[in-house]
Amino acid sequence: MPDATPDRATAREAIALLTGAAGFTEHRPPPSPLPPDGPLGWAGYDAARECASARTGEEESVVYGTGVVGDRACVLLSFEFGFLGGSLGRKTGDRLAAAYELALTRRLPLLALVATGGSRMQEGMVALTQLQRVAAASVRLRAAGLPQIAVVRDPTTGGGWATVGAGADVVLALPGAQVGFAGSRVRPPDADPYAYSAEGQFAAGQVDAVVPADELTATVTHWLRALGPHEELPAAPVPDALSAGGGEPGAGAGTGAGAGTGSAAGTGSGAGTPSAAGAEPTAGSVPAAPLPETGREAVARARDPRRPRAEAYLADYFAVRLPLHGDRSGSTDPGLLCGFGLRADGQPVAYVAQCGTPTRPAGYRAAARTIRLADRLGIPLLTLVDTPGAANDAEAERAGAGAAIADTFAAIAAARVPVTTLVIGEGGSGGALALAAPGNTHVTVDSYFSVIAPELAAAILKRPPSETGATADQLRLRPQDLVDLGFARSIVG
Q: Would you say residue 19 has pLDDT above 80?
A: yes
Return the pLDDT at 289: 77
Q: Residue 382 — very low, low, confident or very high, per pLDDT cuts 50/70/90?
A: very high
If you average pLDDT over residues 70-87, what whole number do you get?
97
Return the pLDDT at 316: 97
CB 127 within 8 A of CB 121: yes
CB 97 within 8 A of CB 134: yes
Return the pLDDT at 362: 98
pLDDT tens digits, 223-234: 999 999 999 999
Return the pLDDT at 184: 81
Dist CA 101 CA 285 (whole Å): 51
Return the pLDDT at 244: 53
Q: Residue 8 — very low, low, confident or very high, per pLDDT cuts 50/70/90?
A: confident
CB 309 within 8 A of CB 424: yes
- Per DSSP, 166 falls in state T
Buried b (16+ CB within 10 A) or exposed e, 230-260: eeebebbbbbbbbbbbeeebbeebebbeebb
Q: What percent of the chain has pLDDT over 70?
A: 89
pLDDT tens digits, 447-485: 999 999 999 999 999 999 999 999 999 999 999 999 999
95's torsion region: left (phi>0), alpha (psi -120 to 50) or beta?
alpha
Q: How far is CA 322 from CA 71, 211, 314, in A?
A: 17, 12, 11
pLDDT tens digits, 394-447: 999 999 999 999 999 999 999 999 999 999 999 999 999 999 999 999 999 999
Q: Would you say residue 43 has pLDDT above 60?
A: yes
Return the pLDDT at 288: 64
Ordered alpha helix ranges (H), 1-88: 11-19, 45-56
pLDDT tens digits, 128-147: 999 999 999 999 999 999 99
If you average pLDDT over residues 192-216, what whole number do you get?
96
Instruction: Return all residues near 284 (Cβ < 8 A) that are at least 6 apart.
Output: 483, 490
Cα 269 off chain centre by: 21
The answer to whether the Cα torsion of 225, 229, 233, 239 is positive or negative is positive
* Interstrand relation of 336-342 and 348-354 (parallel, antiparallel or unpaired): antiparallel
Q: How far is CA 422 from CA 46, 154, 281, 387, 401, in A?
A: 62, 41, 12, 12, 23
pLDDT tens digits, 155-182: 999 999 999 999 999 999 999 999 999 8
If you average pLDDT over residues 243-252, what whole number do you get?
41
Return the pLDDT at 23: 86
360: exposed, middle or buried (C-beta count within 10 Å: 0-12, 13-18, 19+)?
buried
Return the pLDDT at 25: 97
Phi, psi of 7, deg, nearest 5:
-80, -10
Return the pLDDT at 150: 98
Q: Which amino acid is at 344?
A: A
334 vs 243, higher pLDDT: 334
Return the pLDDT at 1: 31
Dist CA 458 CA 90 (whole Å): 67
In 10 A of CB 321, how many CB atoms?
Answer: 25
